[in-house]
């Protein structure tokens, strides 16, 4: 068993309203960042888990995403990185 550190990105699904992203984009424009085209705000989740291999740690995290971490109705998730910790 070793310890892995897995980063997951959870983002609002495309096409679904993202009021948070829109409001931040508007605010950035007001602050003078006029070249900002779009903003999306999601979650960055870091899971530290013990597993035999990086692959099994990833599979486990994927399952966590399906079951709990991401809202299957409104969000997409992606495993961004897997590191030994």
Partner 1 sequence: MRFGIVTFPGSNCDYDAYQAVVETIGEEAVYLWHKDHDLKQSDVIILPGGFSYGDYLRAGAIARFSPVMQDVIAFAKRGGPVLAICNGFQIACEAGLLPGALLRNASLKYICEFVRIRVESNDTTFTNRYAVGDIMRVPIAHGDGRYTADDETLNRLEGDGRVVFRYAGGPADADEWWSPNGAMRAIAGIVNETGNVLGMMPHPERAVDSLLGSDDGLRVFESMLARIGV
Partner 2 sequence: MQRLHSVEPRPGDPAITPALIAEHGLTVDEFDKLLAMLGREPTFTELGIVSALWSEHCSYKHSRPLLRTLPTDAPYVLQGPGENAGVISIGDGLAIAFKIESHNHPSAVEPYQGAATGVGGILRDVFTMGARPIAMLNSLRFGSLDSARVRYLFAGVVKGIGDYGNCVGIPTVAGEVAFDPSYEGNPLVNAMCVGLLHENELIRAVAQGVGNPIIAVGARTGRDGINGASFASEDLSAESEAKRPRVQVGDPFTEKLLLEASLELIRSGAIVAIQDMGAAGLTSSSAEMAARGDVGVTIDVTKVPVREEGMTPYEILLSESQERMLVVAKQGRENEVTAILEKWDLTAAVIGEVIAEPVYRVTEGDRVVAEFPGIRLVTDCPVYTPEAYESAEVVRLRAIDVSQVAELPEERDPLWTLKELLSSPTIAAKTWVHRQYDTTVRTNTVIGPGGDAAVVRIRGTERALAMKTDCNGRYVYLDPRVGAQIAVCEAARNVACTGGRPMAITNNLNFGNPKRPEVYFQLREAVRGMGEACRALGTPVTGGNVSLYNENPTGAVYPTPVVGMVGLIDSIAHITRSHFQEEHDVIVLLGEPDRNIGGSEYLSRIHGMVAGPPPACDLDGERALIDALVEAIQGGVVRSAHDCSDGGLAVALAECCIMDRGAQRGATVDLKHWRELPARALLFGEAQGRVVISTNMPDTVLSIAKNHGVPGRIIGQVGALDAPLHITTVANELSAPLAKLDEAYHEAIPRIMSRAAVVSP
Nearest one of 35, 29, 71, 64 to 48, comparing CA atoms: 64
84 binds partner 1 (CB under 8 A): no
Q: Please choose which of a copy of itself, partner 2, partner 1, none residue 29 contacts, taking the beta carbon within 5 to 8 angstroms, the exact cut-off set by kind.
A: partner 2
Residues interacting with partner 2, by CB under 8 A? 12-13, 15-19, 23-24, 26-27, 29-31, 68, 71-74
Q: How far is CA 51 from CA 2, 26, 47, in A?
A: 6, 43, 12
73 binds partner 1 (CB under 8 A): yes
45 binds a copy of itself (CB under 8 A): yes
């Amino acid at each position: 068993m070793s310890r892995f550190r897995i980063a997951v990105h959870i983002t609002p699904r495309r096409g679904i309203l993202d009021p948070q992203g829109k409001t931040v984009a508007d605010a950035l424009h007001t602050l003078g960042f006029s070249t900002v085209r779009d903003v999306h705000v999601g979650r960055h989740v870091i899971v530290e888990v013990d597993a035999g291999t990086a692959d099994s740690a990833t599979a486990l995290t994927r399952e966590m995403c399906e079951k709990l971490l991401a809202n299957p109705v409104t969000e997409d998730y992606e495993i961004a990185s897997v590191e030994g910790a």
